[in-house]
């Protein structure tokens, strides 16, 4: 076998492998983006019995506890792509003890809910949570929307739909297209992605107090993403970088006082 024939065969083999990898990304992107935990413990099992499950029909909207005072904010919390209500309940337990109301929202396809998650679907699920709160008499200017990772995209889209008191983004990405392109530079992700989550397009239009929390050691979503969002937002946005923090341990590294300082000033 001649050398040119071997080279052609090698090129074809590599091209075939690349094509299969690209096809896998295209076909299974939802499984990579959305990673729901099949378990669905109750608030009691999670060690947070003060939270009450809220349902609309067969769907679980989230866990809820009202604020301890009429003027205290209600934090509406949207978890990330691997998040669970139990983990968010443990994380936000101090916030309840500080007196804030909490609505820990979840999505279709998570916590035993029917359906499949999508960019549009998660936003609709967030709107259901806000509608439930409105039905309980809570005005939007009492609500602080809080997003964690992928949940930042949900919080941003809801904040762009109507006036809320403030917005907190924990470990956000500037857009899923950019993040996926950084992780998979060998693939044409701009043409493959059906779920783009372009957070830049939403934050630029917001004129409300915004706190962006990000760890300087975040390897899942590099700090540059938060810096891009902060550069696009108005003067009422604050970027707080938590030293030595990764993607999900910001509160273990001292983010708590940053949040309480922000909330006390809005």
Total of domains in the chain: 1
Backbone angles phi, psi at 111, to 5 degrees: 55, 35
Please report whether residue 11 resides in a domain. no
Please report whether residue 225 resides in a domain. yes
Please report whether residue 5 resides in a domain. no
Q: Coil, helix or strand for 98? A: coil
Helices (H), the chain: 3-27, 29-33, 85-97, 119-135, 150-161, 176-183, 189-192, 199-203, 223-232, 256-264
Structural domain for 147, as ranges: 34-264
- Length of the chain as a residue count: 266
CB–CB of 54/111 below 8 Å? no
Say which residue the tokens 């934090």 belong to. Answer: 75
Q: What is the pLDDT along the chain (266 residues), one digit of tens a residue?
A: 565 654 555 444 444 544 444 444 554 556 667 889 888 899 999 999 999 999 999 899 999 999 998 889 999 999 999 999 999 999 999 999 999 999 999 999 999 999 999 999 999 999 999 999 999 999 999 999 999 999 999 999 999 998 899 999 999 999 988 987 777 665 556 656 677 799 999 999 899 999 999 999 999 999 999 999 999 998 999 999 999 999 999 999 999 999 999 999 98
Please report whether residue 12 resides in a domain. no
Segment holding 21, helix H or strand E: helix 3-27
- The CATH number that applies at residue 47 is 3.40.50.1820
């Amino acid at each position: 076998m001649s050398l040119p024939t071997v080279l052609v065969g090698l090129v074809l083999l590599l091209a075939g492998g690349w094509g299969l990898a690209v096809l896998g990304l295209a076909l299974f992107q939802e499984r990579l983006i959305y990673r729901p935990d099949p378990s669905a413990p109750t608030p009691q099992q999670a060690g947070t019995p003060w939270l009450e499950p809220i349902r609309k029909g067969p769907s679980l909207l989230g866990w809820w506890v009202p604020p301890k005072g009429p003027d205290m904010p209600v934090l509406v919390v949207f978890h990330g792509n691997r998040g669970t209500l139990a983990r968010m309940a443990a994380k936000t337990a101090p916030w309840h003890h500080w007196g804030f109301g909490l609505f820990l929202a979840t999505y279709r396809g998570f916590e035993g809910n029917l359906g499949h998650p999508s960019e549009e679907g998660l936003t609709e699920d967030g709107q259901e949570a806000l509608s439930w709160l409105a039905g309980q008499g809570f005005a939007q200017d009492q609500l602080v929307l809080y997003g964690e990772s992928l949940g930042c995209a949900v919080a941003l889209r809801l904040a762009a739909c109507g006036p809320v008191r403030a917005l907190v983004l924990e470990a956000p990405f500037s857009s899923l297209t950019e993040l996926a392109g950084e992780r998979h530079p060998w693939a044409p992700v701009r043409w493959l992605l059906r779920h783009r989550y372009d957070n830049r397009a939403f934050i630029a239009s917001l004129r409300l107090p915004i706190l962006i929390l990000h760890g300087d050691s975040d390897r899942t979503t590099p700090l540059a993403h938060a810096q891009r969002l902060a550069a696009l937002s108005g003067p009422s946005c604050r970027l707080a970088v938590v030293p030595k923090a990764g993607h999900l341990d910001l509160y273990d590294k001292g983010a708590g006082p940053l949040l309480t300082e922000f909330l006390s000033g809005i």
